[in-house]
Amino acid sequence: MHNKSLTELSAALASGDLSSVELTHYFLDRIDQYDGDINSFVTVTSEQALAMAKQADEQIAAGQAGKLTGIPIGQKDIFCTEGVRTACGSKMLDNFIAPYNATVIDKLGAAGMPMLGKLNMDEFAMGSSNETSFYGAVKNPWDLDRIPGGSSGGSAAAVAARLTPVATATDTGGSIRQPASMCGLTGIKPTYGRVSRWGMIAFASSLDQAGVLARSAEDCALVLGEMAGFDEKDSTSVDRDVPDYTADLAEPLKGLKVGLPKEYFGEGLDSAVEKNIQDAIEEYKKLGAEMVEISLPNTHLAIPAYYVIAPAECSSNLSRFDGVRYGYRCEDPKDLTDMYERSRGEAFGSEVKNRIMIGAYTLSAGYYDAYYLKAQKIRRLISDDFKAAFEKVDVIMGPTSPVTAFKLGEKKDDPVSMYLSDIYTIALNLAGLPGMSIPAGQVEGLPVGLQIIGNYFEESKLLNVAHQFQQATDWHTQSPADYQ
C-alpha cells in the first residue's frame, strides 16, 4: 500500500477497492509505528484526517472526486492551519494555534486530501540539516545517524519512510531540493510566484517558495497542479494560468539541449557523487538529449549574496515576534523593553538569533550600501547568467548537493561548511527560477540527487525531463530497508 504511486492510490479509491478512511488509518498506523525513531511529525492530526477522509469517501461515492481526492498528505509546519498548532520549528510559536488556513492548505483541502499532520523543520526554515528545530533533529530513514537535509527535513523523512504518500515543503535556498537529494526523493521548487505564500510563515520573502516532495515526477506533477495558481491575497503571486503538469510527461527528449555548468563540477564536489551524476548524464544522452558545456560565472558569489539578503529579510520578518500579540512571552517582564528582549532571547534558537543579528547589521546605516545593496547587484548578475544560459539550452543539470547526507552533529559547529552544502541550490532562489532534484544513484547506500533547472514557468518541461529519466531508471522506486 505505502509503495503505490498517487495514480495507483487514486485508481484504487475510485474502484472501491480501498476507502480513504482505510488508507488514512493505514498511514496513521505507520506514523505511530515508525516516527518515534525518525521524529518527522511534530503534530499528528488523526481526528481531523479521518474526518476529511470520510468526507472524501462521500465525494468519491457521489462521483465528485478529483485525481487526488482521498489521498493523505503531510504538511510542513510552516503553513498556517486553522485550529492546529503551527510552530515553524520554534519555541516562539510553540503555543500558536493558527486562526486561518494558508492558501496551500485550503487548496489541497479543496482537492480532498486528508491532512495527516504537521511536519518537523528547521526553526523558521533556517538550516540545512533539520537540527535547529525546537522539537529536536529529524533522522534520515536511510541511516538514523544522519541528517535528512533541511529545512524541509521532516517532509523528506516522512515521504522517504513511506509515512505519507506526499508532503508539502518550502525552499528558500535549497530546502526542497537538498532534502530530496539526501533522502532519495523527487522534489520540485516552482518559479517564484507560482504558488501562493499567503499563510506561509516568512523567512526571506523574496526567496521563499512552496513546493512538493514526493517519490516521482508524476506524483509531484499531480500535487503541484492543485497547489499552483494566482492568489490575490499574495502580492507576489503571478496571475498566470496553471497548465496540466501531467500532460507532457510522456514527451520524448530527443533534441533536448542540456547545459552542464563547468562551475558545478569542480572543487568541493565529492568524487563518488560526481560519478553518479555523470552516469545520469549518460542516461540522458541515451534518451536523446544533447549536452552543452556552459558557464555560470557568478556562481561562487551566490552563497555570500544569499547570506546577506536572506538574513536581512529575516531580521525584518521576525521583528513581528515580540511577545505582545501572539507566540511566546517571558514571565514577569519588568517593562516593555525587558519583555521584548527576554521573549526573543528565550524563544529564538541560536541559528535564528545569528541570522537576525547579521541582517540587522547589514541593513543598518553605513552598511546598507556596502553589503545589502551590493548583494542585490550580485543577485542581478546571477540572474543574468541564467538568462544567457537559457538562450543556448532548454534545461541545466548538475549535482543537487556536493555530498551525501552527513552525520548528525557533524557540521553543527561549522556554519561555513553547513552553508556550503547548499552551494548548487541557492542561485536558483536568487534568480527565482524553478528547479528539481531527482534520485540519480547511491554512494555507500546513501542517495544522490541530480538537480534539473528550468527557465521561468517551465515546470512542465522539468517534470517531463525528470519523468523520462524515471521511466528509464529505478532509483526513485528504492526506499530505506527498514521501511519497505
Please identify every residue annotated as catalytic: 76, 151, 175
Write out the three cell numbers for 73. 498528505
Cα angle 322, 120, 351 (rounded to 5 degrees) comes to: 50
Bridge partners of 257, per DSSP, are 290
**Quick one: 374 exposed, middle or buried, by C-beta within 10 A (0-12, 13-18, 19+)?**
middle
Q: In this structure, what C-alpha cell is assigned to residue 445?
A: 547506500
Strands 435-443 and 446-453: antiparallel
C-beta separation of 125 from 175 below 8 A: yes
Cis? peptide before 295, omega within 30° of 0: no
